[in-house]
Structure 1
Amino acid sequence: MKLSVLDLSFDALPEHLDRPEGYDGAFVLLRLDGRPCGQAIIWYDQYDPEAPLARQLARAANSSFWECWTTRQIGMTPAEPAPSQIPSASVAVCTRERPDDLKRCLDGLLAMTGQPSILVVDNAPKTDATRQLVAQYPSVRYVVEPKPGLDHARNTALDQAEGEIIAFTDDDAVPDPDWFSCLLRNFDDPLVMAAAGLTMALELESDAQVAFQRLGGFGRGFQRVIYDAVVVDPFDSWKAGAGVNFAVRRAATDAVGRFDPALGAGTAAHAGDETDFFRRLLAAGYKIAYDPQALNWHRHRRSMEELEQQIYAYECGSFAILTKALLFERNPRAVMRLVRWLRQQIPALVRERRRAADNGLPFSIPVAQARGASAGPAGYFRARRQARQA
Structure 2
Amino acid sequence: MRPRISVVIPVWNGESRIAATLNALATQTAKADTFEVIVVDNGSTDRTAEIVQSYDFVTLLSEPKPGSYRARNRGVDRAQGEYILFTDGDCVPTCQWVDQALVEIDRDHVGIGIWAGQITMFIDEGGAFFSSRYDKLLNGFDQERNSAGGRCVTANWLCKRDNLLKIGGFNNDALSGGDVDCASRFVAAGYRIRYAPKMTVGHPTRANLLELVRKRRRVIGGRWMLRGVAQEGIRRAIFLCTQEYFRQAKRVLKSNIELWAKPGVLMIVLSLFLVSNYELLRLAAGRAAYRS
TM-score, structure 1 normalization: 0.59
- The one of 103, 106, 112 aligned to 1:192: 112
2:146·2:152 contact (CA, 8 Å) conserved in 1?
no
Aligned with 1:147: secondary structure? coil
- Cα deviation, 1:139-175, whole Å, max 9, x if unaligned, reads 1111111111101100101111221111111111110
Q: Which has the higher contact order (CA 8 A, sep 6+)?
A: 2
1:214 aligns with 2:132: no
1:320·1:376 contact (CA, 8 Å) conserved in 2?
no
- The one of 140, 143, 154 aligned to 2:72: 154
Shift of 1:198: 1.0
- Cα deviation, 1:122-151, whole Å, max 9, x if unaligned, reads 111324x22321222111111111111101
Partner of 1:341: 240
1:287 aligns with 2:206: no
Taking the aligned partners of 2:186 and 2:243, their CA distance within structure 1 comes to 27
Partner of 1:105: 21
Matching residue's letter, 2:272? A
2:217·2:279 contact (CA, 8 Å) conserved in 1?
no
Taking the aligned partners of 1:362 and 1:338, their CA distance within structure 2 comes to 22
1:308·1:365 contact (CA, 8 Å) conserved in 2?
no
Q: Which moved more, 1:303-312 or 1:369-378?
A: 369-378
Change in CA separation of 1:359 and 1:217 when aligned onto 2, cut-off 3 Å: farther
Change in CA separation of 1:279 and 1:373 when aligned onto 2, cut-off 3 Å: farther
Aligned with 1:126: secondary structure? coil
Change in CA separation of 1:382 and 1:92 when aligned onto 2, cut-off 3 Å: farther
TM-score, structure 2 normalization: 0.76
- The one of 43, 68, 83 aligned to 1:124: 43
1:257 aligns with 2:161: no
Matches within 5 A, 1:221-240: 221=144, 227=147, 232=149, 237=150, 240=151
* Bigger radius of gyration among the two: 1
1:179·1:294 contact (CA, 8 Å) conserved in 2?
yes
Aligned with 1:193: secondary structure? strand
Aligned with 2:69: secondary structure? helix
Change in CA separation of 1:342 and 1:159 when aligned onto 2, cut-off 3 Å: closer
Taking the aligned partners of 1:349 and 1:297, their CA distance within structure 2 comes to 23
1:319·1:377 contact (CA, 8 Å) conserved in 2?
no
Change in CA separation of 1:180 and 1:379 when aligned onto 2, cut-off 3 Å: farther
- Cα deviation, 1:81-112, whole Å, max 9, x if unaligned, reads xxxxxx81111111112123111100001111
Aligned residues: 267
1:263·1:383 contact (CA, 8 Å) conserved in 2?
no
Shift of 1:257: 0.7
- Cα deviation, 1:193-240, whole Å, max 9, x if unaligned, reads 21121111233542122331133662334xxx995xxx63xxxx4xx4
Taking the aligned partners of 1:219 and 1:155, their CA distance within structure 2 comes to 24
Q: How much identity, in percent, do the aligned residues show?
A: 25
1:133 aligns with 2:81: no
Taking the aligned partners of 1:378 and 1:162, their CA distance within structure 2 comes to 42
Matching residue's letter, 2:11? T
Partner of 2:205: 300
Partner of 2:256: none
- Cα deviation, 1:316-370, whole Å, max 9, x if unaligned, reads 423432217x96xxxx9xxxx979936834867999xxxxx97204955255246
Structure 1 residues without counterparts, runs of 5 or longer: 1-86, 265-270, 352-356, 385-390
Shift of 1:304: 1.3
Matching residue's letter, 1:241? C
Shift of 1:314: 2.8
Partner of 2:276: 372
Taking the aligned partners of 1:174 and 1:94, their CA distance within structure 2 comes to 14
Matching residue's letter, 2:80? E
1:196·1:289 contact (CA, 8 Å) conserved in 2?
yes
Aligned with 2:70: secondary structure? helix
Pairwise CA RMSD: 3.6
Partner of 2:123: 203
